[in-house]
Amino acid sequence: MREPSQRVSKAPKSAIRELFDLALGRSDVISLGIGQPDFTTPEPAIQGNINALKNKITMYAPTRGVPELLELLEKKVNTFNKINANWRDNIIVTNGGSQAITLAFATIFNPGDELIISSPNFLSYFYCALFFGVKVVEVERNKNFSPNIEKIRNSITSKTKAILINSPNNPTGHVLNQTELKKIVEIIIENDLYLITDEVYENYIYDGLKHVSPASLNGMFERTITVNAMSKSFSATGFRIGYAVASKEIIDLMEKFHQYTVAGTNHAAQYGFIEALKMGINFFEEIYQSFDKRRNLVYIRLKEIGFDLVKPHGAFYVMPSTKNFNLTGKEFSQKLMKEQAVAVVPGGVFGSFSDHMIRISYATEIEKIKEAMNRIEKFIHKI
């Protein structure tokens, strides 16, 4: 047979999957590997979806999304994100945040273009880049996981097309502060670049910090592609609903790519998102408090156990170093799974600078987190 696609073949099988293979057939496993919240999807979202199906909303959706949903999204991004977007020109509904990322890659890059990313970072960016022939320039984060602004500036070449940020960040939990964001924006404007900003964790921000959408800043709307989703805010990862906000030029291109590759987004699920958006975000307060409590618990316990780690300010992950135990993240996660049945993700999957780290998700019940921490402590004592 002739050789299949080199670009797709190059992407490794998921290391997270490999780890879960070790867990097969074991009922005692506690997973701190998951990237989805554990609360139930709010009932209005579920009913919205069900009612749409009952009303025979089973045909193709309009390519950019259901107008009522787009209008609600306009209101949400205008008020919450302070982005001056218009639903007719600047928003498209996608199959999760993942497809909004794909659309961003499809519409701004040509093969050979370069994209600057702080590393470690969310793994889909690396593989989207591979699939679209984009060269990722990884810039190692500072020790506290803030972006290394000087290195970012020095990494710009004539081929640089964009910088991608994800704040609050998966996997580090870093939240960009105003100064960091301002400096990134300066670099973008000075060098005539695009900014891709993945804001799927915008509601998971702690310690009184505030989420700022770069598209709301002066001179940034036209050059920013904002990626967002229903998935994390409404605990609805299976709905596969997200959206992108950008200039008319980019959204028009996205519509074409969307039309010819996926022919639209799940029609009935969009009605679920409509009902979710109508609820507003007040329902989230209790959930938020619970995540904050878990964050503090995990941080304190990992410190007590002897890890070096940065306290996360956002999302629901923490990324401790495994150096104190003379193990790579991969060795640590495999041994921990075999010996104590706790799943954590090896840091190496998130880029070239995190081999000696693990990612722990605290998006699980507090009692399970406590038990997992006790097991990790036992594991460390035996090393």
The count of chain residues that interact with ligand PLP, using the rule CB under 6 A, is: 13
Residue 267 CB, nearest approach to ligand PLP (Å):
17
When the beta carbons of 305 and 358 are compared against ligand PLP, the nearer one is 358
Say how far apart CA 296 and CA 96 lie, in whole Å.
29
Query: For residue 181, what are the contacts with CB-CB under 8 A and spacing of at least 6?
Result: 167, 212, 214, 217
Rg (C-alpha) for the chain, rounded Å, is: 21
- Cα three-residue angle 370-348-364, rounded to 5 degrees: 25
Please report whether residue 213 would count as binding ligand PLP according to CB under 6 A. no
Say how far apart CA 50 and CA 47 lie, in whole Å.
5
- Cα three-residue angle 374-376-379, rounded to 5 degrees: 110
Say how far apart CA 322 and CA 179 lie, in whole Å.
30
Q: Which stretch binds ligand PLP (CB under 6 A): 140-148, 208-216, 229-237, 340-348?
A: 229-237
When the beta carbons of 90 and 170 are compared against ligand PLP, the nearer one is 170
**Which residues are bridge partners to 196 per DSSP?**
164, 225
Query: For residue 173, what are the contacts with CB-CB under 8 A and spacing of at least 6?
Result: 145, 310, 311, 312, 313, 314, 315, 316, 317, 318, 319
Contact (CB, 8 A) for 231 and 363: no
Contact residue for ligand PLP among 42, 48, 96, 272 (CB under 6 A) = 96
Per-residue mark of binding to ligand PLP, 154-173 (x: CB under 6 A):
------------x---x---
Contact residue for ligand PLP among 81, 90, 119, 231 (CB under 6 A) = 231
Say how far apart CA 223 and CA 216 lie, in whole Å.
11
Please report whether residue 198 would count as binding ligand PLP according to CB under 6 A. yes
Contact residue for ligand PLP among 33, 35, 120, 264 (CB under 6 A) = 35
Peptide bond into 62 cis (omega under 30): no
Residue 35 CB, nearest approach to ligand PLP (Å):
4
When the beta carbons of 37 and 48 are compared against ligand PLP, the nearer one is 37
Burial of residue 44, with CB atoms counted within 10 A of its CB: 0-12 exposed, 13-18 middle, 19 or more buried: middle
Contact residue for ligand PLP among 37, 42, 48, 97 (CB under 6 A) = 97
Contact residue for ligand PLP among 184, 200, 245, 358 (CB under 6 A) = 200
φ and ψ of 100, to 5 deg: -65, -35
Please report whether residue 229 would count as binding ligand PLP according to CB under 6 A. yes
Contact (CB, 8 A) for 139 and 148: yes
When the beta carbons of 108 and 305 are compared against ligand PLP, the nearer one is 108
Residue 380 CB, nearest approach to ligand PLP (Å):
28
Residue 133 CB, nearest approach to ligand PLP (Å):
21
According to CB under 6 A, which residues from 109 to 138 bind ligand PLP? 122
Residue with tokens 């306009």: 74
When the beta carbons of 90 and 361 are compared against ligand PLP, the nearer one is 361
When the beta carbons of 170 and 333 are compared against ligand PLP, the nearer one is 170
Please report whether residue 354 would count as binding ligand PLP according to CB under 6 A. no
Q: In the chain, count of helices (H) and strands (E)?
A: 13, 12
Q: Which stretch binds ligand PLP (CB under 6 A): 96-104, 303-311, 332-340, 357-365?
A: 96-104
Please report whether residue 266 would count as binding ligand PLP according to CB under 6 A. no
Q: Which stretch binds ligand PLP (CB under 6 A): 94-102, 135-143, 146-154, 292-300?
A: 94-102
Contact residue for ligand PLP among 237, 265, 322, 361 (CB under 6 A) = 237
- Residue nearest to ligand PLP according to CB distances in the complex: 96
The full 3-state SS of 160-202, as one line of letters, equals: EEEEEEECCCCCCCCCCCHHHHHHHHHHHHHCCCEEEEECCCC
Residue 198 CB, nearest approach to ligand PLP (Å):
5
Residues that bind ligand PLP (CB under 6 A): 35, 96-98, 122, 166, 170, 198, 200, 229, 231, 237, 242
